[in-house]
Amino acid sequence: MPYKSIVSFVHDHATDMPAVLTAASLADEVQAHLSVVCLGIDRTNPGAYYGGANAIALQQSLELAEAEARQNEETVAKSLGVWSLPWETIPITAQVGALTPVISDRAQLADLIVLPKPYAKNRGVEDVVILESALFRTRVPVLELPEGHDSAPKA
């Protein structure tokens, strides 16, 4: 069965772009549509603050997560702008504890999910949650790329 829809997730463009470029290369080769979900992750724990500090901390953290999602989207769009394949970016802000439904909802209708290896240098709990959500909350095949894999187009 040929792939018609490929999805990848970016929460840190500095480390996730090789997976996006691999997904773009594969999508271009099989003439598939590429969706890149650009995550901004709110890492606050709402129960950890006292009194009015809770609302202030949540607002600041949400603003940082939204800026992170926009920055990821800008970087992905700039990188994919050179490709002739059909692609889209989807910016989403979510709390780290609520990533699982975000990942599964955005990936469940794809034909393939392309992700970087989560157990590597410069990786965090978010990477593990993204991979495990894709593996165990969807019925979509997952291509997990080895550390250091980069299929960026050569100029």
Q: Looking at the DSSP assignment, which residues form a beta bridge with residue 87?
A: 34
Distance CA 150, CA 5 (A): 21
* pLDDT value of position 153: 47
Chain segment 19-78, per-residue pLDDT in tens? 999 999 999 999 999 999 999 998 876 655 556 566 777 788 889 999 999 999 999 999
pTM to 2 decimals?
0.89
Convert 19-36 into a string of H (helix), E (strand) and C (coil). HHHHHHHHHHHHCCEEEE
* pLDDT value of position 49: 56
Alpha-carbon distance values, 152 to 67, 77, 80 (Å): 26, 14, 10
Distance CA 44, CA 61 (A): 7
